[in-house]
Amino acid sequence: MIEDMLRTPSAVRDAERYTAHNYHPLPVVISSAEGAWLTDVDGRRYLDCLAGYSALNFGHRHPTLVRAAHEQLDRLTLTSRAFIHDQFADFCRELAALCGKDLVLPMNTGAEAVETGIKVARKWGYQVKKVTPGQANIIVADGNFHGRTTTIVSFSTDDDARADFGPYTPGFTVVPYGDLAALEAAIDENTVAVLLEPIQGEQGVVLPPEGYLPGVRRVCTDRNVLFIADEIQSGLGRTGRTFACDHEGVVPDMYLLGKALGGGIVPVSAVAADADVLGVLRPGQHGSTFGGNPLACAVATEVVRLLATGEFQRRSAELGERLRAGLEGLLGSGLVAVRVRGLWAGVDIDPALMTGRQACERLMERGVLAKDTHGSTIRLAPPLVITSDEIDHAVAQVAAVLAG
Ligand SMILES: *Cc1c(COP(=O)(O)O)cnc(C)c1O
């Protein structure tokens, strides 16, 4: 096609013209999608290897989820929590069961789930643990990503995420990720919680050393500290289990969920915990106008039902091994490191070869969309509905890009 006839260049310009530049998207303009495939405004097709940072675990427009959304749109979309609606109880009961917890508290975005976890942990600290008023402290990890609110960026260690957004919220201590001794040493009588990603997604799919998560669990139990697992990106099937914590048999006190919970249709997040923890909240102390709305609950209940069958976790585990084998075959041929858990891979490209951004641009030209993170690392996280042939296709395109 002649360059002048493509719609993409002007569509890219239009998209940049009236928006704050808080993102640096690849120059592709998507107009439709189904399953693991995207189509742009010029009719070109791409294999989605980002899946909305795991928000699209079930693929684009999964028929069961779209049907639930349509049916709910035709009946009831919003009540606020001032009234109870008929989709609420099923969602809360079924999600609590999936998590093995007594209660859930629904919000909308991941950052709100993290904020909710922080508030609940602090209140638990004062009311149950009897921490000195105003002194509650939460331990977090170096390299964390928990969202973009002012409190959350206060304990980010990424300068882009944090610089010039102060004054910063106090009450957080940062320790090296994966270092149990450092974490244990940081706990004092004011520590109410440890907040961690069981796998650090934004950091490049960084897995902690084996035994770390069980160690954190043990230390938290011994010292009467809540273990909060941010499973917003790692949870709900991405790693081949329902939760990334499951790989080491660890049960946190609080799960933070988001992204895939909304089925790629609506923003849905939640905190799941037992009654002795979430029960500290009383009416008026926390809330959200849209949290737990009927449309969100209708879609998210079907998400929970998809996960309850175990089918997606199995697919992710099995296909993840194929992805791992393919990517590990490229070690020494342009890749210097590969980290895989389920259908989630962090791939470090030899920085002498190209940046992660350049790799993603070249993958785009080859019909595969992925996202770089931190220099020469790219992350591959396709929808869990991807087929084994499509995985081979994606790996072949990575190989071709590395071969120049
Ligand atoms: C995406 C993400 C968040 C924030 O979620 P938003 O919906 O973007 O607010 C928090 N924690 C982790 C681990 C994430 O990946």
CATH code where residue 227 lies: 3.40.640.10
**67 domain-assigned:** no
Helix 294-308 vs helix 311-328: crossing angle, to nearest 10 = 70
- State which of 275, 308, 341 marks the end of a domain: 308
- Are 113 and 166 members of one domain? yes
**70 domain-assigned:** no
- Whether 102 is a known active-site residue: answer no
- The H or E element that residue 357 is part of is helix 356-365
Tally of domains within the chain? 2
Catalytic member of 91, 101, 172, 230: 230
Q: Assess contact for 332 and 404: CB atoms under 8 A.
A: no
Per-residue pLDDT tens listing for the chain (404 residues)? 566 789 999 999 999 999 999 999 999 999 999 999 999 999 999 999 999 999 999 999 999 999 999 999 999 999 999 999 999 999 999 999 999 999 999 999 999 999 999 999 999 999 999 999 999 999 999 999 999 999 999 999 999 999 999 999 999 999 999 999 999 999 999 999 999 999 999 999 999 999 999 999 999 999 999 999 999 999 999 999 999 999 999 999 999 999 999 999 999 999 999 999 999 999 999 999 999 999 999 999 999 999 999 999 999 999 999 999 999 999 999 999 999 999 999 999 999 999 999 999 999 999 999 999 988 999 999 999 999 999 999 999 999 999 98
- Whether 259 is a known active-site residue: answer yes
Residue 272 bridge partners (DSSP): 104, 255
Residue nearest to atom 6 of ligand 1 (CA): 110
Catalytic member of 101, 123, 259, 371: 259
**71 domain-assigned:** no
**93 domain-assigned:** yes
Residue nearest to atom 15 of ligand 1 (CA): 233
CATH code where residue 330 lies: 3.90.1150.10
Answer yes or no: is the C-beta of 258 below 6 A from any ligand 1 atom: yes
- Are 134 and 205 members of one domain? yes
Answer yes or no: is the C-beta of 228 below 6 A from any ligand 1 atom: no
d(CA 387, CA 384) in angstroms, rounded, equals: 8
Token pair listed for 24:
């640096």
Residue that the structure tokens 């998590």 belong to: 99
**What letter represents residue 95's amino acid?**
L
Answer yes or no: is the C-beta of 94 below 6 A from any ligand 1 atom: no
pTM: 0.98
- State which of 308, 337, 368 marks the end of a domain: 308
**Helix/strand/coil for 30:** strand
Give the atom of ligand 1 at the shortest distance from the alpha carbon of 110.
5
- Are 36 and 122 members of one domain? no
**327 domain-assigned:** yes
**Residue 352 lies in domain:** 2-61+311-403
- Are 117 and 21 members of one domain? no
- Are 114 and 254 members of one domain? yes
Q: How far is the CA of 365 from the centre of ligand 1 (A)?
A: 28
Q: Assess contact for 129 and 314: CB atoms under 8 A.
A: no
- State which of 308, 337, 366 marks the end of a domain: 308
Give the atom of ligand 1 at the shortest distance from the alpha carbon of 147.
4
Residue that the structure tokens 């260690």 belong to: 157
**66 domain-assigned:** no
Residue nearest to atom 5 of ligand 1 (CA): 110
- Are 360 and 243 members of one domain? no
- Are 302 and 318 members of one domain? no
Helices (H), 173-264: 180-186, 212-222
- Are 299 and 342 members of one domain? no
**251 domain-assigned:** yes
